[in-house]
Amino acid sequence: MGLSIIQVDAFTDKPFAGNPAAVCVLPAPADEHWMQAIAMEMNLSETAFLYPLEDGFSLRWFTPTVEVPLCGHATLASAHVLWSEGHLSADADARFHTKSGLLIGQKQGDWIQLDFPINHSELMSSHPELSQALGVPLKTVMKNSLGYLVEVDSEDLVRRMKPNFSQLRALSLAAVIVTSLADQDSPFDFVSRFFGPGFGIDEDPVTGAAHCCLAPFWRDRLGKDDFSAYQASARGGVLRVRHQGDRVYISGQAVTVMRGDLV
């Protein structure tokens, strides 16, 4: 029998929604070319690889084409696997040593809270090429270390936009977060979508890392620290988001959908 690999749907409480991630718990460090090949084989937006350390786990994330410095949904999936597969007791924190520093997951009933670094954005001037690629008028354009952050006028625009991915790939930044206030009768504060063709992902179903940017953006506009957010992809996902100092606490649910063996 080879190494176990588990597929988890993150930011959802039911299978076949949220964002799928593959999680592989290794006994020791592995060759990064092998990990990239596995991620390409899995062909999910992210595959996570962990191995135990003295005070937690090393964690790395790979899209089908590149390694990324931060991934929220695959961290949520990794924490879920550590608890559900018996690598950690339910009352122990999940401590992840990553390229974005120490990330901590805590089990809170049916939810998992993740502690992430905040990602501030800088205002940009108008960007006609970006507006053309997204196919909608842009209210605000900003940029951060993840990519562009774009505000549009309505939830309806967020939900029905159909970007030109060839044009998005030609832009200088690899990804675009699109967001708006949620509709007045919505249970959510804001909605978003995430397009990452530069990372090998045309649209990511639910993106924890994007909410490290969205939390300070909406805090500045709404004057509060706690949010209920919905990522309006075809699969959809629900996140609880809290802005606190230089950290963003992102909470979600997760469910295991598949187990297999690497041979």
51-63 pLDDT tens trace: 999 999 999 999 9
The pLDDT score that the predictor gives to residue 1 is 44
Residues of the chain with pLDDT > 70, as a percent, come to 99
The pLDDT score that the predictor gives to residue 248 is 97
State yes or no: pLDDT of 95 exceeds 60.
yes
Same fold, 3-117+250-262 and 122-244: yes
What is the average per-residue pLDDT within 137-159? Answer: 97
Catalytic residues: 46
What is the average per-residue pLDDT within 178-189? Answer: 97
Report domain extents, the chain.
Answer: 3-117+250-262, 122-244
pTM recorded for the entire structure: 0.92
State yes or no: pLDDT of 106 exceeds 70.
yes
Q: If pLDDT is split at 50, 70 and 90, which confidence band does 20 have?
A: very high
For residues 120 and 213, give the distance between their C-alpha atoms in angstroms, rounded to a whole number. 6
The pLDDT score that the predictor gives to residue 194 is 97
What does the angle CA 42 – CA 86 – CA 62 come to, to the nearest 5 degrees? 25
First to last CA, the chain: 7
For residues 202 and 196, give the distance between their C-alpha atoms in angstroms, rounded to a whole number. 5
**Coil vs helix vs strand at 231:** strand
| 226 DSSP β-pair partners | 242
Mean pLDDT of the chain: 96
State yes or no: pLDDT of 223 exceeds 80.
yes
The pLDDT score that the predictor gives to residue 263 is 83
State yes or no: pLDDT of 98 exceeds 60.
yes
E strands along 34-173, which residues?
46-53, 56-62, 67-68, 94-98, 101-108, 111-117, 122-123, 140-143, 148-151
CATH fold of 122-244 reads Diaminopimelate Epimerase; Chain A, domain 1 (3.10.310)
CATH of 3-117+250-262, one of 3.40.1160.10, 3.40.50.300, 3.10.310.10, 3.40.50.1400: 3.10.310.10
What is the average per-residue pLDDT within 10-26? Answer: 97
Which uninterrupted H or E stretch holds 134? helix 128-134
